Amino acid sequence: MGDLAAYSEGFTRPEDAVRRDLESFAALLKKWNAVQNLVSRETETALWSRHVLDSLQVLPLLRPTDELLLDVGSGGGLPALPLAIALRGGRARFTLVEPIGKKVAFLRQVIRELGLAAVVHAGRTDSFDSRETLGDRLGFDVITSRALAALPLLLELIHPFFGPETRAILHKGKDHAVEVEESRLAWEFDVVVIKSATDEAGVLLEISNLRRKSTR
């Protein structure tokens, strides 16, 4: 089922307990995927490496102080739910934003069955009022998203939830360099590019200090 050792240092529980929950998540994902499109059918046979371990690549980039995490366009719960499983019992709390009702039902079932510290907003980002979650905080600690939109649009979607210390950790494919350059037409930001361990052409983009360019 794949080697979790590369990520176990970030787990809040013993590796075997995390593995059992990840296997339960994978089984639920396969079951639900038979009747709806949570992940590509072509990648279902490599679900552990292509989706679960791919999601866990975010874990080493998180900080001990990261508490509020927002996942945009959650779909099948990737990367948020594997991360929530890895960090179960710790301080991290996840908010998943997903507009499609059947996918919301899947996400809520996994969260309920595995007892995860996560909630689902059934809607789009423009209908999500983050004030109840954030309180007096200025933005989420970390924002994640995987296979949702090209970077220029994605930055538009996540910008309202950024504070001065927010980082976005975004899975991206082979066109990431082009997307970064296109995004710089409208946005200023710092970016660190981390090569994917599961996708030869993929990367994780760690974006901070996101701000809209002045139109003056």
Q: How many CA atoms lie within 13 A of 82 on its CB side?
A: 27
Give percent of the chain with pLDDT exceeding 90.
76
| Residue 128: band (very low, low, confident or very high) from pLDDT cuts 50, 70, 90 | very high
Residue pLDDT, tens place only, 77-103: 999 999 999 999 999 999 999 999 999
The predicted model gives 192-199 an average pLDDT of 92
| Residue 2: band (very low, low, confident or very high) from pLDDT cuts 50, 70, 90 | low
Q: What's this model's pTM, rounded to 2 decimal places?
A: 0.94
Q: Decide which of 184 and 40 is more confident.
A: 184
The pLDDT, as a whole number, for residue 147 is: 81
When mean pLDDT is compared across 46-50, 63-67, 148-152, 174-178, the lowest value belongs to 46-50
Q: In this model, does residue 13 exceed pLDDT 90?
A: yes
- Please provide the DSSP assignment of 141-201 as one string: SEEEEESSS-HHHHHHHHGGG--TT-EEEEEE-TTHHHHHHHHTTTEEEEEEEEE-SS-TT
Quote the distance between the C-alpha of residue 12 and its chain's center.
Answer: 18
The pLDDT, as a whole number, for residue 40 is: 60
Residue among 95, 34, 45, 48 nearest 69 (CA): 95
The pLDDT, as a whole number, for residue 39 is: 64
The pLDDT, as a whole number, for residue 48 is: 79
Q: What is the distance between the alpha carbons of residues 159 and 202, in angstroms, rounded to a whole number?
A: 23
The pLDDT, as a whole number, for residue 42 is: 56
The pLDDT, as a whole number, for residue 1 is: 42
